[in-house]
């Protein structure tokens, strides 16, 4: 009787800490975020152009903003070179054809051959266009 009570209590506690399952759209957005992360590391021009909207507004923590052409060129040319990108504490909220993604980004870089590190809080706005999630906007800030 006591073992059953302890087992039931332990199971309840474990299940209460498991987050609810993501919706189908949230899973698709998470996949797009992961595809973008990999494309940014690889500098894959084709993937980058596919994943971002023609109307992209890509805000950097330093205050400048890239459009799609600038964003793709910097990454595909190696001017902006991510060696690693690690994302954590990601949340995804979908409302119709719009998704808001927030996460922490920690990365190692080699811009211009010079090693560096980046630690940012990022907001991504994704829009469903012709059945595919496209990055519409991004804004990054440095953690306080």
Output the tens digit of pLDDT for each of the chain's 144 residues.
665 544 454 444 444 444 445 699 999 999 999 999 999 999 999 999 999 999 999 999 999 999 999 999 999 999 999 999 999 999 999 999 999 999 999 999 999 889 999 999 999 999 999 999 999 999 999 998
Class of domain 23-141: alpha beta
Q: What is the pTM of this model?
A: 0.83
For residue 62, what are its two tokens? 């330093």
pLDDT in tens, 64-103: 999 999 999 999 999 999 999 999 999 999 999 999 999 9
Indicate the SS3 state at residue 134: strand
Indicate the SS3 state at residue 143: coil
Compute the distance between CA of residue 39 and CA of residue 22 in angstroms, rounded to an integer.
24
């Amino acid at each position: 009787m006591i073992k059953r009570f302890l087992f039931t209590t332990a199971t309840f506690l474990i299940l209460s800490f498991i987050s609810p399952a993501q919706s189908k759209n949230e899973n698709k957005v998470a996949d797009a975020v992961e595809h973008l992360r990999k494309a940014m590391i690889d500098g894959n021009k084709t993937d980058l152009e596919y994943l971002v909207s023609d109307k992209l507004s890509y805000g950097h923590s330093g205050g400048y903003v890239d459009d799609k052409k600038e964003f793709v060129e910097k990454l595909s040319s190696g001017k902006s070179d991510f060696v690693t990108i690690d994302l954590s504490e990601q949340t995804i909220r979908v409302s119709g054809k719009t998704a808001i993604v927030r996460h922490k980004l920690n990365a190692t870089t080699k811009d211009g051959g010079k090693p560096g590190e980046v630690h940012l809080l990022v907001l991504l706005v994704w829009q469903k266009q012709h059945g595919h999630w496209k990055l519409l906007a991004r804004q990054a800030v440095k953690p306080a």
